[in-house]
Amino acid sequence: MDETIDLILQGCQMAKSLEGSLPNMTNQPESLISSCDEIIRAFSRAKESISKAQLAVLPESHKSQLLGISSGFQEWLRDSSIPTRAMDLLRAQQLLPDDTKLKGAIGGGLDEMVVDQMGGGGRCGGRHSLERAREIEPPAVEAASSGGGRASSSQRQRKRDGGVERRVERVPAPQMGNTEIPPEDGYTWRKYGQKDILNSRFPRSYFRCTHQKLYQCPAKKLVQRLDDDPNIFEVTYRGDHTCHLSSTAPSVPPPLPVERREAHSMMQQATAAAIHSLPNPTTNTTLSMSQWLTISDFGLAVAGGGVVGSTSSTVNMGSSTSGGAAAGPSTSRYGRDVDYPVADMADVMFNSGSSSSTSMDLIFSSMDDKWPDSADKKN
């Protein structure tokens, strides 16, 4: 376990040093990327090591949780669109010029890492890593019905969004923790309805962008569990987010296409990990792990054991008769209108939306030895 902790510490240090050199690296995307890679690599090794160590000892339930962690991260890494997403993110953060073409480099690096660190995926490759069939439908423009229904209810939106782009994704439910919640997608959503659907065992949940009112953001999404495989969520997106276009809009995310959002948050996290994770420059003191967690928001995601949804979701599945679709968490009420990348990183790495703290507890209970302050309260 000591080795594992060393790896984690190593990762933290690398993030720390990345932060220090961040201002100088905005023009060196290659260096930035390789630094991020190294950090990820360190944490991946640590995770792998934890998994191995714990698998031998843990009861079945815990094993599956650990496997869930691995496969979640693996899935993300496997995603072929990562290079594109990463570049988009960097550009969005103005770390790369628009014409930078390093997708292959990034992708290659990550692929290597997947192979290296994940052992080819054989061990962790639960069904979902294979089944994570991300179906991005081509922009399907539905027959544009006028929407000019009755005059009396003209304020009301038409049911079938004529002309509105629809994208469908299938997302595996987390294999650990709260499996009711589909992974975070980088945006904040507010649930506005739930409905039982004919011939479906599970109800469908309706969400709209949290910023709909403020910024007239038209983005919506529908979340429903698949009948034949409740472990898979089908998420239908409608409309694009416009909330980020406002200069005053609280939501930072660039207008990424759906398939790019995961990497968007991942890379944003990688970059911001350094920003969040470090000693206060004014005090020049080294923070305890708990302090690090607290200021970095990482703590919100992983240290608050049992918190539903990494982004402080309060998604309530209770009323659903069959525990059907739930939603990506809304976050604005918790001050997360602005993305908090590190929390999202925890999402992705430790299987987003899950509530179990088991895995991180394993880490941080050990960390207590090395980080005496880590018992501090988290907020």
Taking CB under 7 A as the rule, does residue 167 contact DNA? no
Smallest distance, DNA to C-beta of residue 276, A:
21
How many Å apart are CA 163 and CA 158, to the nearest integer?
A: 11
Q: Name residues whose C-beta falls within 8 Å of residue 171's C-beta, 6 or more positions apart in sequence.
A: 132, 134, 182, 183, 232, 233, 234, 235
CA atoms within 13 A on the CB side of 368: 10
Asked if 145 touches DNA (CB under 7 A), the answer is: yes
Binding track, positions 98-137, relative to DNA; x by CB under 7 A: ----------------------------------------
Q: Is 165 in the site for DNA (CB under 7 A)?
A: no
Q: Does 147 sit near DNA (CB under 7 A)?
A: yes
Q: Are strands 189-195 and 166-172 parallel, antiparallel or unpaired?
A: unpaired
Q: Is residue 317 close enough to count as binding DNA by CB under 7 A?
A: yes
Q: Based on CB atoms, which residue is closest to DNA, 13 or 157? A: 157
Region binding DNA by CB under 7 A among candidate stretches 20-28, 82-90, 157-165, 283-291: 157-165
**Does the footprint of DNA cover residue 322 (CB under 7 A)?**
no
Residues 177-216 that bind DNA (CB under 7 A): 189-200, 204-206, 210
Task: Please choose, out of 25-33, 52-60, 92-100, 328-336, the segment that lies near DNA by the rule CB under 7 A.
Answer: 328-336
Q: Kindly state whether residue 56 participates in binding DNA, applying the rule CB under 7 A.
A: no
- Does the footprint of DNA cover residue 143 (CB under 7 A)? yes
Pick the closer one to DNA by CB: 125 or 250. 250
DSSP one-letter code for 258: G
Nearer to DNA, 97 or 162 (CB): 162
Residue number, 250 or 254, with CB nearest to DNA = 250
Question: Is 52 near DNA (CB under 7 A)?
Answer: no
Residue 204 three-state SS: strand
Q: Which of 24, 57, 94, 152 binds DNA (CB under 7 A)?
A: 152
DSSP string, 63-94: HHHHHHHHHHHHHHHH-TTHHHHHHHHHHHTT
Structure tokens at 204: 């469908």
Cβ(26)–Cβ(5) below 8 Å:
no
Cβ closest to DNA, residue 82 vs residue 209: 209
Burial (CB < 10 A; 0-12, 13-18, 19+), residue 201, is: middle
Binding positions for DNA, 205-264, rule CB under 7 A: 205-206, 210, 220, 222, 238
Structure tokens, 233: 């969520």
State whether the Cα torsion 257-261-262-267 is positive or negative.
positive
Integer angstrom CA distances of residue 6 from 1, 49, 274: 9, 11, 18
Pick between residue 24 and residue 199 the one whose CB is nearest to DNA: 199
Closest residue by Cα to residue 205 from 330, 25, 64, 345: 330
CB of 164 to DNA, least distance (A): 9
Residue 235 beta carbon to DNA: minimum distance, rounded to whole angstroms: 13
Q: How many residues bind DNA (CB under 7 A)?
A: 47
Residue 222: how many CB atoms within 10 A of its CB?
20
Query: Is position 316 an interface residue for DNA (rule: CB under 7 A)?
Result: yes
User: Which residues sit at the interface with DNA, rule CB under 7 A?
Assistant: 143, 145-147, 149-150, 152-154, 156-161, 189-200, 204-206, 210, 220, 222, 238, 313-320, 327, 329-330, 332-333
